[in-house]
């Protein structure tokens, strides 16, 4: 090795040892006759010291070194006169006797600090420098730990990791596939997997019993902020299980990860049906770090001549605790927020509960004190609380109120990244109707099993069918989802038919799976977690990019390597494309 | 759970317990009034028993069940009257009280046995049934264990696993890329990585210090038996190291895997220079499970009027121990073997050392006993040994003798899959000359560092330059290779120039790496192991396909899912391809 120690490991007990260190010149300074260099590597920072009176030549040499130079130094460990108890190596420094410059560095385009001066574009172009920043490195170390503890738990539970293929078959159902032309089979194409769904089901048919894989998946979607064309799943499947077995097994996984990565313990995760989630929070992934459950004022706010409420399908309120002191400006901001095009509310009504218990609303013209008391009572509002109300058709108003609730929570600082609230959402509908194309879609995917008691509804009323499907939500973010699968050929064919597949289409695209169900397919189910998302939640960040070593930008480009790019006519010719 | 126990865990101590098991009907038989079913799952086989006199109804029901039906049974554990000490559950059986058929099965297209009656094509088409066979399942369990112990070792050595991107940039150097059209960047293409080489080097520039990844790689090559378009590497890189550090670190990895997976210990791995390997075995991956080192007869076999030897650049012999009793037929087979078009020898000379010490050769016309004694002496041949001789130009004869040596070893049963002989081959040439295109190729890849003492030869004599490159060979199979990398911009540009890149081409394709070298790149190096190959060696098989869950055939097809396949005109239109 070119070093005897890393930059993170020397302590007072090492004093007087001769050592060799390698690393980057993080910063340097000199105070007259004494010079200092902070030498950095992945493991930490060690202070090097140079004394003009001890060795003028090396003192002068050290002064000429620039930021991010790669150095190898030899020297002796010494106790520091002024210790730094903020760093693990803060008790010592190294008196340098010899410096070798292993590589020079141009001045980096931004500072290698947690609070850097580099903008997003610049940092992405020089991602290899950005990755030197401690905060980014720690994010990737966290990711490594999440996968390590995931494997540790699943291995201990008898899961076996199996790699499924990346070059598979395009299936137009769902999101768009990335496709790959085959040279050996000209005119034909592979697709990159959106998930290993069908393969993991086949592994269950094969009797693998418990499978997992931490695996790259691909979706050619129009990219939104924070959606990546390639992403990583913790993909799992089990045989001979019911929904309850899966919830308990993977609740165990998430607890194991949080315990080992964050040293946090959880009680049994709360559960909520999709129906209740929509009713009480207007979302299938409610953020439960704070309250503000929906209150329906339908029975107490109608009949006062306020036509907006009188004509609305529903009237929904939330009680914002201790927010009666919101300024006019804050209220206006919230009103503007819900009136944004993306949210689309017509307006927002509010009612303050004042210090003396009296009520002051934006619709005092229609509602007297008695009438407003009914609102307050319905909302359990106490003094200094603020009631916010939206109205309109049920579906839209719920969605709008969900947005408002989240925005108010943000204003109040309730979306605390250090608090974690996991929640299972269950009993999803099996189908949703696509008005535009006049057809049914699978809400989860076409392999999801309906609840057995709902089998009969398949022909009569598909909208009513509940699925054995579940999502794990943490802090309002869906980090995993899964279902009990269909393992019966007839039922699978019926589902495909409901989804508008002809028998031929179903056979062509998924024949291998449908056929497999005829050779002893066991009952099975599973779940997949978004690793990028799980890491960002654990790391307290909204952005998954911070947890990906080499992410792509919003147009799917890697600006560092400049991909995608042109390929040569020879390549195209070989592939039969021109 | 739908079961209380697996089919592999019940023991005599469980007698009288009420249990629920799930699994597949592996086989059934009845002997008059008693029926038996072997119920199988991933964990083992449990015998179920049915007594007509105890319960006629269930006895009759059990008789009607077919092979591979999926069953859930309830019953009581009982001691067997005739125990089977060949199976862990052989002391007990389960007296069945209740059977539920969870799924039926058609008769499988081949038997679910280690020695199956299914041919290759059929087993690939029904891979999900093939995977039920114990031997195939054990191969994938072995693979899981290899990755588990790999991670365990590398984690303990402070390596951090980092995922590098799959959608990258096409670089025409090396093998052919698989490419992926970008919809959002019309006319441009991603490529799938042949290895994460440049990314792992960037991670070293970033200071990650020790990186690994178990990662899918892709090469669009013409497929030979046992080469897959997608394959998996254990990819590793370290900073501040010299070759010796890497050899020791990864010798440790391989020892850790063999210890944990096969319970085998190794001494320090033997090392051999490329030059010696070629001289003594005619191969850069010699199989050292057996001897038969090359003996050059140039000084003892010329000048006897045998023009073939007299005119040959070299004459190479091997001593096949205790093979003087090879029959005429065996000798003829070997001769035919080396005369095959792929090997291309003109003929083979042999000389037997008989029981009485006398010598009998195929060229007695030219060589008398004294002359042959010189051969025997050079070869250290003793009685009952067989000397085989090939001659011709040096390069070709070495290659032919390598093939002959391996074939003889096979004949003698010396290629024993249960013996493992690891070997480091070092000091590879940096370049090889491509006569056809009149240019230099990088023998390893263009990022490999020349040995510092050879820097001066870059302009004068590239053929002479040795690289800091090394391969790990086990039993004649290359299972890993790596090198110390270049970390200096000028040197990297010089190498690209020698390889025939213009400065512009080098910048366009690898500019991101060359530029990164200007921002403080540390000395670094690494290695990559072929996981599929490593598993096949450990599993004692020649075929990597046996260790891949869903392999592709020789034309790159997945015959189970029928990929690649057509894609729709809409898909092509969206991608700007039509």
* Pair A402, A281: CB distance under 8 Å: yes
- Rounded CA separation A356/A41 (Å): 61
Q: Is the pLDDT at B63 greater than 70, yes or no?
A: yes
Distance CA B162, CA B201 (A): 12
Length of chain A: 578
- Does one domain contain both B323 and B237? no
Hey, are the CB atoms on B216 and A561 less than 8 Å from each other?
A: no
For residue A564, say if its preceding peptide bond is cis, omega within 30 degrees of 0.
yes
Residues of A in contact with B173 (CB under 8 A): none
User: Which segments of B328-429 are extended strands (E)?
Assistant: 349-353, 359-361, 386-392, 422-426
Same domain, A71 and A170: no
Through-space distance between the first and last CA atoms of chain B, rounded to whole angstroms: 52
Q: What is the pLDDT of residues B229-252, one digit of tens each?
A: 999 999 999 999 999 999 999 999
- Contact predicate B524/B239, CB 8 Å: yes
| Closest alpha carbon to B201 in B445, B394, B373 | B445
Query: Hey, which residues 10-39 in chain B have their CB within 8 Å of chain A?
Result: 22, 24
Tokens describing residue A265: 């313990």
Residues A347 and A456 in one domain: no
Structure confidence at residue B226 (pLDDT) = 77
| Tokens linked to B268 | 């320090």
B42 touches chain A (CB under 8 A): yes
Residue A561 located in a structural domain:
no
Q: Are strands B477-484 and B469-474 parallel, antiparallel or unpaired?
A: antiparallel
Q: Are residues A171 and A46 in the same domain?
A: no
Positions of E strands within A112-269: 160-161, 179-181, 189-191, 210-218, 230-239
The reply to whether B451 falls in a domain is: yes
Place of tokens 């931004």: A110
What confidence tens digit (pLDDT) does each residue in A160-205 have?
999 999 999 998 767 899 999 999 999 999 999 999 999 999 999 9
For residue A543, give how far its alpha carbon lies from the nearest alpha carbon of chain B (Å): 17
CB B162 within 8 A of CB A549: yes
End-to-end CA distance of chain A, in Å?
Answer: 52
Nearest CB partner across the interface for B206, out of A70, A131, A548 = A131
The answer to whether residue B404 is domain-embedded is: yes
Confidence of residue A274 (pLDDT cuts 50, 70, 90): very high
Q: What are phi and psi of B353, to 5 degrees?
A: -100, 110
How far from A273 is each of A245, A283, A425, B183, B465, CA to CA, in Å?
17, 11, 5, 38, 69
Which CATH number goes with the domain that contains A41?
2.40.50.140
Within a domain: B556: no
What length is written for chain B? 578
B422, pLDDT greater than 90: yes
A230-261 residue pLDDT tens: 999 999 999 999 999 999 999 999 999 999 99
**What is the C-alpha separation between B238 and B249, in angstroms, rounded?**
10
Q: What is the CATH number of the domain that holds A208?
A: 3.30.930.10
pLDDT at A173: 65
Q: At A301, which CATH number?
A: 3.30.1360.30
Whether a cis peptide bond, with omega within 30° of 0, leads into B564 is yes
Asked whether residue B43 is assigned to any structural domain, the reply reads yes
Backbone angles phi, psi at A501, to 5 degrees: -80, 135
Q: Do the beta carbons of residue B346 and residue B312 sit within 8 Å?
A: no
Of B411, B442, B476, which residue sits at a domain end?
Answer: B411
Give the closest of A128, A519, A577 to B577, CB-based.
A577
Q: Which residues of A touch B24 (CB under 8 A)?
A: 207, 520
Name the CA dihedral angle for B415, B417, B422, B427, rounded to a multiple of 10 degrees.
50
Please state which of the ranges A37-41, A219-223, B384-388, B399-403 shows the lowest mean pLDDT.
A219-223
Q: How far apart are CA B19 and CA B93, in angstroms?
A: 11
- Coil, helix or strand at residue B113: coil
Residues of chain B numbered 155-174 and touching chain A (CB < 8 Å) = 155, 160-170, 172
Residue A357 forms contact with B (CB below 8 Å): no
Q: How far apart are CA B71 and CA B105, in angstroms?
A: 11
**To 10 degrees, the CA torsion angle through A365, A368, A369, A373?**
-100
Enumerate residues 225 to 244 of chain A having a beta carbon within 8 A of any beta carbon in chain B.
229-230, 232, 239-242
Query: Given CB atoms, is B577 within the 8 Å cutoff of chain A?
Result: yes
Query: For chain A, what percent of residues have pLDDT higher than 70?
Result: 99
Q: What 3-state DSSP class applies to B202?
A: helix
Q: What is the residue-wise DSSP string for A393-424?
A: SHHHHHHHHHHHHHHHHHHTT---TT---EEE
Coil, strand or helix at A27: strand
**How many CA atoms within 13 Å lie on the side-chain side of B134?**
9
CA B449/CA B487 separation, integer angstroms: 8
By Cβ distance, the residue of A144, A216, A521 closest to B103 is: A521
pLDDT band at B418 (very low <50, low <70, confident <90, very high): very high
> Do B230 and A165 make contact, defined as CB atoms within 8 angstroms?
yes
- The CA distance from A388 to B168, in Å, is 49
- Give the single-character DSSP code of A12: G
B447 has a pLDDT exceeding 70: yes
Does a structural domain hold residue A218?
A: yes
Domain boundary among B50, B81, B103: B103
| Res. B578 pLDDT band, cuts 50 70 90 | confident
H/E segment holding residue A216? strand A210-218
**Closest by Cβ to A189, choosing from B141, B192, B565:** B565
H or E segment at A270? strand A270-273
- List Cα–Cα distances, B399 to A467, B10, B539, in angstroms: 64, 56, 28
Q: pTM score, two decimals?
A: 0.96
Dist CA A360 CA A368 (whole Å) = 9
What distance lies between CA B99 and its chain's CA centroid? 44
A257 and A297 housed in the same domain? no
B372 CB-near residues (< 8 Å, 6+ apart):
B351, B359, B361
Q: Are B18 and B74 within 8 A, CB to CB?
A: yes
Point out the domain boundary residue: B388, B411, B434: B411
Query: Which residues touch B508 (CB under 8 Å, ≥6 apart)?
Result: none
Residues B87 and B43 in one domain: yes
Structural domain of B459: 138-272+422-547
- Residue B94 sits in the same domain as residue B63: yes
Taking alpha carbons only, the member of B512, B371, B44 closest to residue A129 is: B512
Burial of A1 (C-beta count, 10 Å sphere; 0-12/13-18/19+) = middle
Q: How far is CA A287 from CA A257, A414, B333, in A?
A: 20, 10, 76
Q: What is the mean pLDDT of residues B424-438?
A: 93
Same domain, B444 and B529: yes
Is B575 touching A (CB cutoff 8 A)?
yes
Which neighbouring-strand residues pair with A391?
A315
The tokens of A14 are what? 């090492």
Per-residue pLDDT tens for B530-569?
A: 999 999 999 999 899 999 999 999 899 999 999 999 999 9
| Per-residue pLDDT tens over the stretch A451-500 | 999 999 988 999 999 999 999 999 999 999 999 999 999 999 999 999 99
Is this complex's ipTM strictly greater than 0.85?
yes
Report how far residue B505's alpha carbon sits from residue B444's, in angstroms, rounded to the nearest whole number. 20
What pLDDT does B132 receive? 97
Q: From CA B133, how far away is CA A517, in angstroms rounded?
A: 18
Indicate the SS3 state at residue B377: helix
Q: Where are the alpha helices (DSSP H) in A218-339?
A: 243-262, 274-281, 307-310, 328-339
Collapsing DSSP states into helix, strand and coil, what is residue B30? strand
- Counting the structural domains of chain A, the total is 3
Question: What's residue A437's pLDDT?
Answer: 86
Please answer whether residues B34 and B51 qualify as being in contact, where contact means their C-beta atoms are separated by less than 8 angstroms. yes
- Residues A26 and A74 placed together within one structural domain of the fold: yes
Positive or negative: CA dihedral A144, A148, A149, A150: positive
The residues, ordered by sequence, that sit 6+ positions from A297 with a Cβ below 8 Å of its Cβ are A309, A315, A316, A317, A375, A378, A389
Residue A341 above 90 pLDDT? yes
Beta carbons of B180 and B201 less than 8 angstroms apart: no
Of B236, B468, B239, B517, nearest to A22 by C-alpha is B239
- Number of A:B CB contacts under 8 A? 331
**Do B267 and B317 fall into the same domain?**
no
Most confident of A379-383, B457-461, B505-509: A379-383
Residue B129 near chain A (CB below 8 Å): yes
Please state the φ and ψ torsions of residue A152, each to the nearest 5 degrees: -60, -45
DSSP assignments along B439-503, one per residue? EEEESS-TTBPBPGGGTTHHHH-GGG-BBSEEEEEETTEEEEEEEEBP--HHHHHHHHHHTT--H
Same domain, B222 and B295: no
Question: With 80 as the cut, is the pLDDT of residue B570 above it?
Answer: yes
At residue B63, the 3 state secondary structure works out as helix
pLDDT, average across residues B313-334: 97
Nearest to B316 by CA among B402, B390, B395: B390
Cβ distance of A148 and B151 shorter than 8 Å:
yes
Q: Flag whether B27 is in a domain.
A: yes
Residue A111 lies in a domain: no
How many whole angstroms separate alpha carbon A136 and alpha carbon A343? Answer: 34
pLDDT at A227: 87
The answer to whether the CB atoms of B70 and A190 lie below 8 A apart is no
Helix (H, G, I), strand (E, B) or coil at B516: helix
Residues A256 and A294 in one domain: no
B348: helix, coil or strand?
Answer: coil
Mark out the alpha helices in B263-393 (DSSP H runs): 274-281, 307-310, 328-339, 369-378
Cβ atoms of residues A369 and A358 within 8 Å: yes
User: Mean pLDDT score of chain A, rounded to an integer?
Assistant: 96
For chain B, give the percent of residues with pLDDT over 70.
99
**Chain B contact present for A578, CB below 8 A:** no
Whether the Cβ atoms of residue A315 and residue A309 lie closer than 8 Å to each other: yes
What percent of chain A has pLDDT above 90?
A: 93
């Amino acid at each position: 090795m070119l070093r005897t120690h890393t930059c993170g490991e020397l302590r007072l007990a090492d004093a007087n040892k001769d050592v060799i260190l390698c690393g980057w010149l993080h910063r340097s300074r000199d105070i007259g006759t004494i010079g200092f260099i902070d030498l950095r590597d992945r493991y930490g920072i060690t202070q090097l010291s140079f004394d003009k009176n001890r060795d003028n030549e090396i003192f002068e040499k050290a002064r000429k070194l620039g930021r991010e130079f790669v150095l190898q130094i030899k020297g002796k460990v010494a106790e520091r006169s002024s210790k730094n108890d903020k760093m693990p190596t803060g008790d010592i420094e190294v008196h340098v006797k010899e410096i070798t410059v292993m590589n020079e560095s141009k001045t980096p385009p931004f500072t290698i600090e947690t609070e850097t001066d580099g903008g997003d574009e610049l940092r992405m172009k020089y991602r290899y420098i950005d990755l030197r920043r401690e905060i980014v490195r720690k994010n990737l170390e966290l990711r490594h730990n999440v996968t390590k503890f995931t494997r540790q738990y699943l291995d201990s539970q008898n899961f076996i990791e199996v790699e499924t293929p990346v070059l598979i078959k395009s299936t137009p159902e769902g999101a768009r596939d990335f496709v790959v032309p085959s040279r050996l089979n000209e005119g034909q194409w592979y697709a990159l997997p959106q998930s290993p769904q069908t393969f993991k089901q086949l592994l269950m048919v094969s009797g693998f019993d418990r499978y997992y894989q931490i695996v790259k998946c691909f979706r050619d979607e129009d990219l939104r902020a924070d959606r990546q064309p390639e992403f990583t799943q913790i993909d799992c499947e089990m045989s001979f299980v019911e929904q309850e077995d899966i919830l308990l097994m993977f609740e165990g996984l998430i607890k194991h990860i949080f315990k080992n990565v964050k040293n946090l313990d959880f009680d049994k995760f709360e559960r909520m049906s999709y129906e209740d989630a929509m009713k009480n929070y207007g979302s299938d992934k409610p953020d439960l770090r704070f309250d503000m459950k929906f209150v329906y004022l339908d029975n107490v706010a109608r009949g006062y001549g306020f036509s907006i409420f009188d004509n609305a399908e529903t009237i929904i309120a939330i009680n914002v605790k201790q927010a009666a002191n919101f300024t006019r400006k804050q209220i206006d901001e919230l009103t503007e927020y819900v009136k944004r095009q993306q949210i689309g509310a017509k307006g927002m009504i509010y009612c303050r509960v004042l210090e003396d218990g009296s009520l002051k609303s934006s619709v005092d013209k229609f509602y007297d004190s008695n009438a407003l008391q009914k609102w307050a009572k319905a909302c359990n509002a106490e003094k200094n609380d603020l009631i916010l109300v939206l109205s309109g058709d049920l579906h839209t108003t719920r969605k709008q109120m969900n947005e408002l609730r989240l925005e108010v929570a943000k204003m109040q600082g309730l979306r605390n990244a250090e608090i974690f609230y996991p929640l299972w959402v269950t009993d999803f509908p099996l189908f949703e109707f696509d008005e535009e194309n006049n057809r049914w879609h699978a809400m989860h995917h076409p392999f999801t099993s309906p609840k057995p008691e709902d089998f009969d509804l398949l022909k009569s009323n598909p909208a009513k069918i509940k699925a054995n499907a579940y999502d794990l939500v943490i802090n309002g973010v869906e980090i995993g989802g899964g279902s009990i699968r269909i393992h019966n050929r007839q039922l699978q064919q019926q589902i495909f038919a409901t989804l508008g597949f002809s028998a031929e289409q179903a056979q062509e695209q998924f024949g291998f799976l449908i056929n497999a169900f005829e050779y002893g397919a066991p009952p099975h189910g599973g779940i997949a977690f978004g690793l990028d998302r799980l890491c960002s939640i654990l790391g307290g960040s909204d952005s998954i990019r911070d947890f990906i070593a080499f992410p792509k930008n919003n147009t799917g480009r890697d600006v560092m390597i400049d991909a995608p790019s042109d390929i040569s006519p020879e390549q195209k010719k070989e592939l039969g494309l021109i």
